[in-house]
A and B are shown apart, each in its own frame.
Chain A
Amino acid sequence: MFERKQISEGIFFNCISDLRFKVNMISIKFLLPLEKENNAPRALIFPVIIGGTENYPTEKDLNRYLEEIYSSTVSSSFNRLGNICIENLNAVFLRKKYIQDETDVETGVLNVLEDMLRHPVLEGRAFKKEKVETEKMHLADSERSVINNKGKYAVNRCMEQMLSDDDFGYPPNGTVEDIERTTPEQIYEQYLYMLEHARIEVFAAGELDFGKYCAFVKELFSGVDRKYEDNLSVSPITDHVRKVKRINETDDVAQGKMVIGFRTFCSSVDDYSKTAPLIVGMNLFGAGSTSKLFNNVREKMSLCYYCSSFSVMDKGLMFIQSGVAKENEKKAFDAIMEQFENVKKGDISDGEIENAKSDAVSDLVGAFDYLRGVISWYFVKTITGKSYDKELLVNYFKGVTKEQIVESFKSIELDTYYFLCGGESNE
C-alpha cells in the first residue's frame, strides 16, 4: 500500500507498507537542478556527514553503534535522473520481529539519521577540515581508478563525448581537479543550500507506522528556513545529431572495448504509449540472451563474449557495448549496425516480439520483489508525473505491435562511436 503526504513546502513523505521483507528501508532524497560546477562539493556532502555526528564524532563510533543495533546500515549515494541531481541518504534495518531482545533498532536508526542531518560535526561555518580532506582523497582516487575497469571507462568516455554540451555529460562527481579544489566551506554551503532549496522526498518501506514517520519527517526539517522553488527538469536530449563523432583511443588492453551511443528521442518523461514500444524494441535488439545482438554477433559470428544494449531512459539515450578483438573492429561494428537496420526495416519475427514483451513485463514485475525496486518505482513515477499503477504499464507492454517498434527505431540516430584498443599510447 502506498501513501503520500506533503509535510511542508517541497517536502513529501511517501510510505510503502509491505510485510514481505525482513527489513525496513528509509531513503531520504534531496533533489536539485544538476549544475556541473557543483557536482564535486555535492558529491562530498553525505560522505562527510555520515563519517561522524555530534553524538558519534568519528566513523568508528558510528559504525560500532550501527553494529550494535543489529547491523543496521546507513549509506549515501549521489545520482541523477536526467538533469536532476539526487542526494540519497539510505538506511536499512531489521524488523522488530527478527530481533531477539528488547533493542529498539528503529528508534536507534531514526536518531542516527536525525543526528546526521541536524548535528553534523562542524568547525565554525564549515565541515571539519580533516574529515573533508580524507573524503576528497578517497573520491579523487575512485575517479582516477575508473581506468582499472576498461569496459566502464569506455562507456564513460563515450558518454562524455556524446554529451559534451550538457551538464549530464560532465563527470557525476566532478573531475579530479574539481574534487581537489573543493573546500570545507563550499561543502557546508551546499549542505545548507540543499536543506533550504531542495525538493525533499522521504521514502519509507516495510512495516511502518505512518503517523510516527510523518512526525519524524516534520521534526527533521522543522528548524530549516525553507526557500523551495519548483524548478526541476529531467531535460532529455531532443536535438538531432549534426555530425556523428568517431573516437579511437589506445591503452594497454588485451581486448578492444566498443561503445556505440544513439539518441532515441523518447525518454522517461514521455507517455507509456511512446516508451513501451521503445523498451520492447531495445530488448529485442540488444538486451539479454534472446536479442538480435546476442544471437547474431555473439552466437552466430562468435565475435565477442558480450554485445548488448543498455539505455539511459531519462536522457533518451541507448548504448551498445561489446568486447571485441582489435582486428574484428569493423566486422563487429558492421554486424551491430546490420541488426539495427534489421529492426528499422521490420525484419522481426513474432517470436522475437513476444520474447521482448515478456522480458519487459518480467523486469517490471520482478523489480517489486525488492524494497529498493519498489521505492525506485514510486520515486521515478512521482518525479516524471506518471501513474503508480504498474498494471497500466504491463498492459502497454503487452499491446506493443511490430509497427510501433519499427516506428520508434526509425527515429533513433547514431551519435557517437568509441573504440578503445591496444597499441601505441597517445601520450
Chain B
Amino acid sequence: MSKYLELNYPSLDEKIICAKHRSGLEVRLIPKKFSSGCAVFGTRYGGKDNCFKLEGEEDFSVMPEGVAHYLEHKMFESEDGTDPFERFGRYGTYANAFTSSNVTCYHFTSTNNFLENLRILLDFVSHPYFTKENVEKEQGIIGQEIKMGDDNPNRALYYMLLNSLYESNPVKTKVVGTVESISRITPELLYRCYNTFYNMSNMRLCVSADITMDEILSVCDEFLEIKPQKKIIRKTFEEKEEVNVKYSEKKMSVSKPIFIVGVKDNFKSDNYTERYRRNIASNIMMNVLFGQSGDFYNDVYKSGLINDFDFDADFSDSYAYCAIDGKSDEPEKAYEKFLTCVKNAKDIIKREDFNRCKIASIASIIKSLDSVGVAQAEFRTSIFGTELFDLINLYREVTFEDVISLSEELFNDRYITMNVVKPLKGDY
C-alpha cells in the first residue's frame, strides 16, 4: 500500500501519484518507463495577472505589461554567476521556460541523471537574483522577441480576436508586453511579483519519469523552504456579455487575407472542473460542426473558400471562447457561411455524429499520452485542480443534450466577432 494517494486508470494503463510537500507544493508523478524523463515546475501566474495584492494588503499593485514573461527570463540569473542552462547542459538536458496568459512554466527533459536535473530546476526557480544591470541587459533580447512577434500575422490576429471579444478582461494583455512597458520594469517590481506568485501554494511540480515519489520529495526537501502561505487576490473586472468589437481588420505582409471568427462564452463558475466540462462540450460541438467529417469543412475545402481551416475551443479560469480560423480570398463569404452554419447548429448536430466525435475525441487523448510530455499536460490541468486522466471521464459524461443546449446558448449574434488581417497590396 503506497503512502501516497494513487489515482489509477487501469483502462489507460496509467496512474498519477499525488503528494503535498511540506513547503505547501503539490507534486504529481506519472510513472513512465522511457529513456527520457520530464519535469515541469510552474506557477499560476501569467501575462494577465498585472493587478493584484496579498490578503491583508490595502492597495492593489499595478504592473507594466509583460512583467511575468520578463521575470521568467530573469529567473535564469544566479547570484553565484552559474548559468542554469550551462548546468543542465552538462547532462545534455533540454531545458526551457514559457509564459502564457495564465501560467509560467520551467521544464526540462533529460535522458540521464534525472534527480540532478531536478535539483537544478528547483534550485534556480527558488533563488531569484535580480540586479539593475541584469534586468537592463534583457531589454534588448526581449525587445527583439517583441519585434519577432510583430512580424507574425497569426499572433496579430490572435490579439485582435482577444481585443474584439473582451472590453476589460486582462487576458487580452500581450504576454511579452511592449517595448515601452518593459522599459519600466525594475528589480524591485520583479521581486514584488516573485514574492507574490512564486509561493509554493501557488505552484506545482509535475514529473513523468521512471522514478519514485520519495526521491522527488527528498529533492524538494533540499531546496524548498517552508514559508507562510499567502492568499493572492487578483483584481476582479466586470466584463460585458456581448463582444467588445464586432469586426476588426489590419493590414500586414500576408499572401491573402487570414481571418478568425470568435464566439464569446460567458459561462461563469469558480469550479474549474465545471469549466472543463463546459470546454469539453464546446470541443465536441465544434468538432461535429467544423471537424473533417462534417459538411462545413468538406464544403469549404472542396470549393477552396477557406485554406488551412481550423477550429478551437479555449478557456481558463476567467474566460472562454470558441473560434474558427483560416485563409480566404473572400473572408466576408467565409463569415456568412459560418453564420449560416451556426444558426442551423441545432439541426446540423445529429446524435450519431455526436457519438462518433465523442469516441474519436477520447481516442485522440489516449493517443497523446505516449511520451513523458504528459507532465506538461498534467501541469496545465492540475494547476487548476483537474487531473489529466479525469478529462476522459468528463468526455464520457457529456451528453448530446448538453451539446445542443450549448449551441443554442452560444451562437447568438451578440457573442460573435470577425477579425481579418489583409495583405498590404491587392484589392482586398
Contacts and interface: CB of A to CB of B under 8 A. Distances in A.
Interface stretch (A61-69, A210-218, A240-248): A61-69
Interface stretch (B55-63, B358-366, B379-387): B358-366
A78 to B, nearest CB: 17
A381 interface: no
A343 to B, nearest CB: 16
B302 A134 contact: yes
Contacts of A355: 86, 89-90, 92
Contacts of B302: 130, 134
A30 B144 CA distance: 43
Given A145-B327, A252-B253, A254-B150, A298 B141 contact: yes
Contacts of B253: 147-148, 150, 251-253
A388 interface: no
B327 A362 contact: no
Interface residue tally of chain B, by bracket?
Answer: 35 or more
Nearest to B353: A64
B370 A63 contact: no
B147 A254 contact: yes
Contacts of B35: 365-366, 368-369
Contacts of A305: 141-142, 144-145, 148
Contacts of A302: 137-141
B295 interface: yes
A67 B140 contact: no
The listed residue with most B CB atoms (<10 A of its CB), out of A142, A357, A365, is: A365
Interface in A67-92: 67-68, 70-71, 92
Contacts of B91: 358, 362
B240 to A, nearest CB: 33
B43 to A, nearest CB: 21
A324 interface: yes
A319 B173 CA distance: 35
B151 A71 contact: no
A23 B13 CA distance: 13
A168 B35 CA distance: 35
B92 A141 contact: no
Interface in A341-394: 351, 354-355, 357-363, 365-366, 368-371
B111 A366 contact: yes
**Is chain A's interface secondary structure helix, strand, loop, or mixed overall?**
helix
A107 interface: no
B140 A303 contact: yes
A62 B292 CA distance: 10
B112 A362 contact: yes
Contact of B369 (A22, A58, A70): A22
B304 A58 contact: no
Nearest to B358: A67
B6 to A, nearest CB: 20
Interface in A136-150: 137-138, 141-142, 144-150
A425 to B, nearest CB: 9
A284 to B, nearest CB: 10
A94 interface: yes
Contacts of B89: 288-290, 355, 358-359
A60 B111 contact: no
Interface string B140-160: 111011011011111000000
B34 interface: yes
Contacts of A68: 356, 359-360
B196 interface: no
B176 to A, nearest CB: 10
A15 B90 CA distance: 35
B356 A67 contact: yes
Contact of A358 (B90, B109, B137): B90
Contacts of A64: 293, 356
Interface string A312-335: 000000000001110000000000
The listed residue with most A CB atoms (<10 A of its CB), out of B11, B151, B298, B304, is: B151
A71 B360 contact: yes
A155 to B, nearest CB: 14
B75 interface: no
B8 to A, nearest CB: 15
Contact of B293 (A67, A304, A371): A67
B304 A323 contact: no
Given A94-B367, A290-B86, A362-B110, A324 B301 contact: no
Contacts of A22: 12-13, 366-367, 369-370
Nearest to B258: A148
B151 A134 contact: no
A362 B302 CA distance: 44
Interface string A1-35: 00000000000000000001111000000000000
Contact of B150 (A20, A255, A289): A255
B428 to A, nearest CB: 14
A100 interface: yes
Contacts of A67: 293, 356-357, 359-360
Contacts of B366: 22, 94, 98
Interface of B: 11-13, 33-36, 85-86, 88-96, 109-112, 137-142, 144-145, 147-148, 150-154, 252-256, 258, 291-295, 298, 301-302, 304, 307-308, 327, 356-357, 359-361, 363-364, 366-367, 369-372, 424
Given A59-B292, A288-B89, 8 more contacts: A23-B367, A67-B356, A68-B356, A71-B361, A141-B256, A255-B144, A302-B139, A362-B112
4 tightest A-B contacts by CB? A358-B92, A302-B140, A362-B92, A290-B89
16 contacts: A22-B13, A59-B298, A60-B298, A94-B366, A146-B255, A148-B258, A150-B253, A255-B144, A255-B148, A290-B86, A294-B85, A354-B90, A358-B93, A362-B91, A369-B36, A370-B370
